[in-house]
A and B are shown apart, each in its own frame.
Chain A
């Protein structure tokens, strides 16, 4: 059960990071932390329900890779336009 405890606390740490960090890249790092907390719970549940949990965790890793590619591309593109990655500067939806 200790890994489920660790998973919940890691997810909460990620939430704290998303709420307090002010640059887009660091918010992104906190999101990765939350994804991994969910993965840890999936791997833990696989011990009770079978291998499907591990396959789901594998899928999550692949989706996270796609998300990082798009997200970092967005951050680089925004930085070229605005010379900043601070999320407070980017609160408008126009260039």
Chain B
């Protein structure tokens, strides 16, 4: 493991640990952005340049910002809410997570992989023929899924009746929300 690899792995794990432990949800989302930016750098180092840029634009730029919007919209920055029905479940959860890590590592350690395939830098020119060839059906299915998700998201957050049709006290409540 070279110096840069070690640094990248350490940064990934540190920011990931911050995401799951920070008490303020906004800070956790910002730590997630840091994690995604480091991950984008790792992608570029692993010959996946297009994916690295997509990671920055779509994940860090769009998805996490959407998270931040919702956290601020719902005033949900407080991470610890209500009472904890399972007292002191953290060590148990940590044990379980370590078990998952052990199972994954033992599975990955048994693989005999020969790295060093020529990926042409993972640029769009190399990915395009695959995406529009063997993976065309997948591409179309994902496009359909995205459209369905957009329709669902709009339908979910719509008020049950349009704002004009609400009674005055209901409208006041809707504005407060």
Residues of A within 8 A of B (CB): 1-17, 19-23, 25-26, 28-30, 32-33, 36, 39-41, 43-52, 54-55, 57-59, 61-70, 72-77, 79-80, 84-86, 88-89
Contact call A77/B54, Cβ cutoff below 8 A: no
Q: In the complex, which residues of chain A have a beta carbon less than 8 angstroms from the beta carbon of B98? A: 12
A36-B39, A52-B130, A58-B54 known; A22 vs B104 contact (CB < 8 Å): no
Which residues of B line the A interface, CB within 8 A?
1, 5-6, 8-9, 12-13, 16-17, 19-20, 25, 28-29, 32, 35-36, 39, 42-43, 46-48, 50-51, 54-55, 58-59, 62-64, 66-67, 70-71, 73-74, 76, 78-85, 89-90, 93-94, 96-98, 100-101, 104-105, 108, 113-117, 119-120, 122, 126-127, 130-131, 134-135, 138-139, 142, 145-146, 148-150, 152-154, 156-157, 177
Q: Chain A: which residue is nearest B11 at the CB level?
A: A6
Given contacts A13-B97, A88-B82, contact A2 B119 (CB under 8 A): no
**Residues of B contacting A29 in the complex (Cβ-Cβ under 8 angstroms):** 19, 25, 28-29, 32, 67
From B28, B89, B94, B117, contact of A47 by CB (8 A): B117
Q: Nearest CB to that of A74 among chain B residues?
A: B156
B19 x A51 contact (CB < 8 A): no
Cα of A62 to Cα of B131 in the assembled complex, Å? 13
B19 touches A22 (CB 8 A): no
Tell me if A22 and B46 are in contact (CB < 8 A).
Answer: no
Given contacts A9-B13, A32-B63, A51-B122, contact A58 B131 (CB under 8 A): yes
B177, A73: Cβ atoms closer than 8 Å: no
Among the listed A43, A51, A65, A89, which residue makes an inter-chain contact with B126, where contact means beta carbons less than 8 Å apart? A51
Q: How far is the CA of A57 from the CA of B48 in the complex (A)?
A: 10
Say yes or no: B116 contacts A47, CB within 8 Å. Answer: yes
Q: What are the residues of chain B within 8 A of A26 when measuring CB–CB?
A: 25, 28, 79
The 4 residue pairs across chains A and B that have the minimum distance between CB atoms: A17-B20, A12-B101, A66-B149, A19-B93
Interface centre among B48, B71, B89 (most CB of A within 10 A): B48
A61–B93 CB distance below 8 A: no
B135 CB, min distance to chain A CBs, angstroms: 5
The answer to whether A76 and B145 touch across the interface, beta carbons within 8 angstroms, is no
Q: Assess the A68–B58 pair: CB atoms within 8 A.
A: no
A44 to B154 CA separation, bound complex (whole angstroms): 36
- A30 to chain B: which residues have CB within 8 Å? 19-20
* Contact between B70 and A75, CB atoms less than 8 A apart: yes
